[in-house]
Every structure is written in C-alpha cells, then in structure tokens.
Structure 1
Amino acid sequence: MITSPAWKDKKYAVLGLARSGRATVEALLAAGADVLVWDDREEAREPYNGRCAIGDPLEADLTGYAGVIVSPGVPLNTHPIKPHADKFGVPVIGDVELFAQAREHLPAHKVVGITGTNGKSTTTALVHHILKTAGVPTTMGGNIGLPILEQEPLPEGGVYVLELSSYQIDLTYSLDCDVAVLLNITPDHLDRYDGDFAKYAASKCRLFEMQSTDHDAIFGSSTEAACRASLGLKQRVHVFDREAYEHPDHLVLRGPHNAENIGAADQVRRVLDIAEEVAFSAIDSFSGLPHRMERVAEISGVAYVNDSKGTNTAASAPALAAFDNIHWILGGLAKEPGLGECEAELPHVKAAYTIGKAGPDFAALLEGRVPVEQCETLDRAVTAAAAKAERGDTVLLSPACASFDQYTDFEKRGEHFRELVEALV
C-alpha cells in the first residue's frame, strides 16, 4: 500500500467505509496515524473495533485534526460535514489528496491526471495500456481500478495514471500532475454544483491550477481556448484535434469520441517520450472497457453493443455516430431535458425502444421521427429490438441517462443487458 511518514501521529477522520474508505483507513493506520472512522452501516464499522476510534465526525470535536477524508460520493454542496469541519479549520479531502501528500516519499515517478465529462475511463485505460506495452512501470487509479492507496508503490521511473472526476478534484488541493489532460466539458452532475455549469467547469479546471509551470497540460481543440483564457495557463500546453485521430476500422475505438480519446492518449505518449510505433501498436491491441461501446455478441448478423456508460446525451451521441441501422435502447433517470447532442445522430437510428422513468418523455420526443416503442424495462426492450433487427443492424444500449431509477449503477445495467443478449443465443 501507499503510505506517508507525514501522517504519523496526526489525527484524521474517515467518513464512509466503502472500498476507498477502507483503503484510506489501512494506509493511515500503517503510517501511524490516529484515525476516527464512521459509516452508517454497523457491519462496516465492526472490523475497526479496537483498531480505531469509532464515531460520527459530525458529532466530534475536530480540534487538531489534520483532515476529514470522505468519499467522492459525498455532496459537498449539501452535506453537513463540510460546514462542520470548517468550524474547526479542518480540510475535507479525499484519498487522492492523501496520495498527493505521499508522493515525495515514493520512488521518482510521474503522474498523469485525466479529467473531462466523457471519455475519462477509456483514455485512462488506453494511456495505461500504451505505457505497459512500452515496458514502463505503471498503474491506474483514482476513479478507475483499485483505490490508489491500496496499490503498491511503483518502482523508480513509474507512471501513475489517474482518472479524476470533478468530485475527486474538489477534494484535492496539492496534486501537481506532471501531465494533466482535459478531454471535454459538457453539462453533467449539475446537482452537485447548484445547477451552475460554470462551477462544474471550474472544478475540472482546478486540475491545471494545481500544476507547476514546468509541467504539461493537454486539451482538445474544443476546450483549449476557453481554458487558456480563464486560467492564464503558464505550463506547457499541447492541443490536439480529434478529427486527426479517426480510426474507423478499430472494432473498439470507433466514433468521434474515441478519436478524442486516442488524440489525448497520443499527446500523453509524446510528452512521456513513448515511441509512436509502440503507442499505435498498443492502440490497435486495446480491447476497451466494459459498458463503453462493448461489443457483446453478434447473433444472426446483428451486433449487440453495450454502452451503458452513456449516462448523458453528450456521452450517447458519439455511440450513435459510430454505427448505422441502430435499434436504440434509451432511457433511465434523465440528467437534462431533450435529446441534446443525440438529436444530430438520429439519421443513424432505425428504431428506438424507451425504458425507465424518462422513457415516456423520450418517446414523445422521438415520435414521428423514428419508429419508437415504449418498453419500460430493459428485458422488454432487448426482446423487442431482437425481434425487429435484421442482418447488418446494431442493437445499441446507450441510455443517455443515469441508471438509478432501475439499477444501482450503470455497471449493473450493462451486466443485465449482457445477460439478456447471451440468453438470445
């Protein structure tokens, strides 16, 4: 695990004992810190009896504490922990901030931080795959893979590749990325920012504000000008145009959004001095991530694609752009009204099948433009689409919505789609 002698004999509170919270507690204890832990679930607290103080930080006197560590899922704009900690002058931080504090005690390394509304996970995994192919010691963490503090430190010359959501950046104050990447910014998660898109965008941009001037910042051509103007960037700036990275023959990395992901990864490899031939060999062998334009099966000439990670219209539009003759399964818990960027891709849609809470609204928007069937549930939608799809068609789950009305997360929704498709064989 990753620890720091800087934590020794300091007091910390950890609120939430899911996986990242547990990893944080273990790292702090290993470093000799004094830790107060809390989770509303008694079974989550039980393993820490006798090892930590147990109590709700909201009811604790936090005088002298070095930090309160919370999960990125804790909404700082509404949760009472932030004002409570503020009364004692105690920062509310996340595990990525602890990693940032531990860096000076790790073997010499670099950190690549990747943020953006859409494409973060694929780009992070692709950069990691390129580095592995090049023989560079590397690991990935942050919003992907294992909690970063749970991982073993890399040897000298290693590269940590971190996917960073706006929530994680909000809890981070000293992460000076050697390479920071912003893919795109579109409206998302605005409930966490009081409905203010500017606040959400500013959260993403803080990744660059934390950078030293001799480090590297990478932007897509769509975001660079605005960020340069608002941030007064002094670090080395690299800009890529996704149109230069279209890869239409790649079975996984298809569509304009993946051109953006490839472009960002290529800029990272340039900064890290990875040979072009190595990088593009890695791109060709990249198998992608689950739930992101994942080709589940081909049955009787019909392709079934799981893009459950399409949780907003901006994320689903590129998937629609990547295929023709699409039987589109969409719906769930809408994050914004209307079809957004999906509107322009409707010529690719042969028929639509709506599910979830937003299903009736989507059906009304699509009526008269494409054949549409209100299915309510995913199992009905898959059955209906399979019955109507013909050889050469694609059945695409790309909901343009969050999953929480019917599933605990987008992974569970994608896994259910995969199970339903496998049952068709």
Structure 2
Amino acid sequence: MRTRPLKVALLGCGVVGSEVARIMTTHADDLTARIGAPVELAGVAVRRPSKVREGIDPALITTDATALLKRGDIDVAIEVIGGIEPARTLITTAFEHGISVVSANKALLAQDGAALHAAAGQAGLDLYYEAAVAGAIPLIRPLRESLAGDKINRVMGIVNGTTNFILDKMDATGAGYQEALDEATALGYAEADPTADVEGYDAAAKAAILAGIAFHTRVHLDDVYREGMTEVSAADFASAKRMGCTIKLLAILERAADGESVTARVHPAMIPLSHPLASVREAYNAVFVEAEAAGRLMFYGPGAGGAPTASAVLGDLVAVCRNKLAEATGPGESAYTQLPVSPMGDVVTRYHISLDVADKPGVLAQVATCFAEHGVSIDTVRQQGKDGEASLVVVTHRAPDASLSGTVEALRKLDTVRGVASIMRVEGE
C-alpha cells in the first residue's frame, strides 16, 4: 500500500463541507483501506475564517482558495461552494494544476458542464459530481456506468425535497400552498428565499444534468422547460383526488419515439396513486428510469441534507482517489448522439383544465367545440353550477402541448368563460 497520503483541498465548509470533513476524519482508516492509500484533508477554503468549525484543525483554514490549489501538493479538490463564481474559476484552476475535482454544484454543471468536462479531459483528470443530483441517492453513476450498455428512453423524478415536502403536506392535510410553505420553512426544509426550489430552478438544473447523461447529448439549463408550483392550490389537490391522483413537481426527460430528439421539462403534474412516485413522502427524492433492456427502475432516498450529500461526495472521492493510484480516469462526458432538444410545444401528454364559466345552457358545447377546433380530444368533463356561476373541469386525451396552449388561448376569449382557474398536466399513465 502506498504510504504517502493523497491530499485533498476542501473548497467550502458549510452544511455539506463540514460533514465531508467530519467523515474524512472519523472514517480515515476505512477510507485508507478502501482507497489503497491514506487520504488527508490538506486545507479548507472558507469565506469566514473566524467561524468555529468543530473537529477541523484551525491551521487548515484559509480564505485563499486559489493559493491552496496552486501550492503544488493537492491531488483532489472537493468543491461544495455552490453557485457559478468563484466555483467555476476554482475548478478550472484545479485542472490547470493537475488536480481532479469532486463537485456538488448542480447550477454550474447545468450551465457549464460541457466546458468543464472538456477542461478535465484535456488535462487527463476526473470530474465527478454524484452529489449534484438527488443527494445520497446513487443515480449519476448507475446512469453513466451501470446502464451504459442500455438505451434509456425516459427519466421521471422528484428531485427537490423542499417542493415534495410542501406538496405532500398540501395533499395530506388539505392546506394551501402558503400554509405548507410556512411549515416547511419553520422545519428548515425551505430557505428564507425559497424561489430556487418552488419556481423549479433547482430541479431544472438537475434535469439538465440527468438528461445529458441519460441520452448521451448536451442539454443546457436553458434547454429545460420550467414551471414552478406556487399556483398549485387545495382545489387542484381535491380534483386530483377525485381522479385517483396526487400532485408532484416532476422532472421529466424523454427520448422521442423516433429517437431523433429529446425533451426536458420541470413542472407540477398529476400522477396516479398507483405510480411509484406517488408514494414518495416528506422531503424524499425518487427517480424513475425506463430503459430498453433493464425495464423500469426506481432510485429512492434522501435527496438533500449535510450527511446524505456528503455520503455522495465521499463516494466520488474514493473513486477519484482510486483512479489517481491507478494513473487512470473514470468516464467523462458522453455526448456522441448530439440530439436536439425539442421545444415544449412538441411534448405530448394529457391535461386537466379547470374553467370558471357562466352557468347557462350551451356553455359546455362552446367549450367542447373550442377543444375540437384545436385538435384536442376530451376524455371526461365534470360541471358544477350555482347562482349563475359554474366550474367546468376537463380532462383530455394525449395531445401536443402547443395544441393545448392554442385551446386555452381560445377559451380565454369566450364570453362564457370567466377565467381559466388551473391547467395541470397528467403524467405517469
């Protein structure tokens, strides 16, 4: 066994970084045995050096991350800073100095993954990022390695714990969105500013990463269609229950039937209670994969938090260190298919539309005609009326999103339609 330790620079020491440092210390002997050489925390770059960090030698703390990377003896850098800068510059600097990188930075990888992979490949180094998607759940490595010989056609999942907690509470208790968000904030599941979670930005970044790996093509963050969940109401959940469904914020990645393009989207959707994703509760994540040979697979577990995310980081660290000892690298970017990402208008699915209409004869006929004129076939209709006001709930058969958008635009122009209260896609059937 090699006696000189592999030296690790930890960039960032927040919730995840502090857990990484703790596990590296408490499991040092096990890590040595698994890697085949000692692994040593050689420096910790932080913004606030005065903060007390229990279990970390103060002598390791520095505010100069660049100097830490350039000092000449670092083998692996663990980046858990988050955001675009300075993380991007630091990762590039690491590659320039012969340092492999383990990252948990979903936003950066979704935006600049191609350039970072290219830099790692040119330098003959590793870029691993299991922790960037779904916390502790082994997902990226199974997609990138275990299923490398298969053809993945669809990936659908819950990849944000905060939104799943909120929607689960709305479903279980009948609470409104704001009430459920307040509970999530009080329990620490939601940030003071929850925008990245509830508006789908976090899930969209993860969707871009997963789509690129699953379909062997480059999918940028801007390619992912995104809708948030702030407009989901208790009434939507009531309608979903009448259909035998619940509502989840889903990342859905699909290969076209002809295999010539892919789609990537994040939005709330109704799914049947019989679907495996419907039973995912609280702040848990789950990803459902459909492959040609392997069939249907589901990956489930805690998708966030210090210890779960650190588990994924340490798994990557072990793999990268083993590669260092073998003077090899693991799999890099696979983008050989170069498939285009189709617009949301091309997506075909079912829809649940709730309309506020005048309670008088002929309204249903007008609405049905509007759907027919845009090529959207109606599956079921439910109407309730009282005192001149009525609600009309229409569930469609499968139709292109562009056709549904045209239908809704035309409905809004009808004198008998007071408003379009809700539009929800229906998935998983």
Q: TM exceeds 0.5?
A: no
Structure of higher RCO (CA pairs closer than 8 Å, 6+ residues apart): 2
Which one has a bigger Cα radius of gyration?
2
